Amino acid sequence: MPKQRELVVTNIFSFYKGIDLAALGKINEAKETILASIKSEKKIEGGDVDLLQRLIAKEGESRLALASLLWDAGDRAEAESVLGTACLRLDQLEADAQKRLAMKKGAPEPERLRFSIDDQIGAGLSCSRFKNEKFLSETLDWPDPLQRKVIKLQTLGK
């Protein structure tokens, strides 16, 4: 299991790298890094659900960063595809987390269990959060150019 844990952590850092490359506007490098991480992610197995959920959250963030770059570069079809996959994965993450919490014996029925990008419960992670400038700047600490691109994508602006 330590090898699997190491692979998860490596992938999380690779997604961070992809986001950093996206922030620098390096479309090809960001895309290569993020897609390689997604491909590598398929090899991960294990029972550490919390760690795997953190990985999926970071994957969702990196997909949104990539989608915003693609949209800004005029590749609308691919941007929409990447965005759709990101939103689906984030929705699945939320649903799974809620189900797991509800299954715990004696646990009160939660309103919603939410995950944030950086491993914190409570921020609420969904595609709609990426429309919120405060979330992008304060929670994710994304630079202004990348924030503007993701907001433009989320509103399907030109």
Q: Where are the alpha helices (DSSP H) in the chain?
A: 2-23, 27-41, 49-72, 76-103, 133-134, 144-154
The pLDDT value recorded for residue 132 is 86
The pLDDT value recorded for residue 123 is 38
The pLDDT value recorded for residue 112 is 47
Distance CA 90, CA 61 (A): 9
103 — pLDDT class (breaks 50, 70, 90): confident
- Report DSSP letters for 71-86, one per residue: HHTT-HHHHHHHHHHH
The pLDDT value recorded for residue 76 is 92
Distances (CA, A) of 13 to 21, 58, 118: 12, 9, 11
pLDDT surpassing 70 at residue 75: yes
The pLDDT value recorded for residue 2 is 63
Is 0.75 topped by the overall pTM? yes
3-class SS of residue 121:
strand
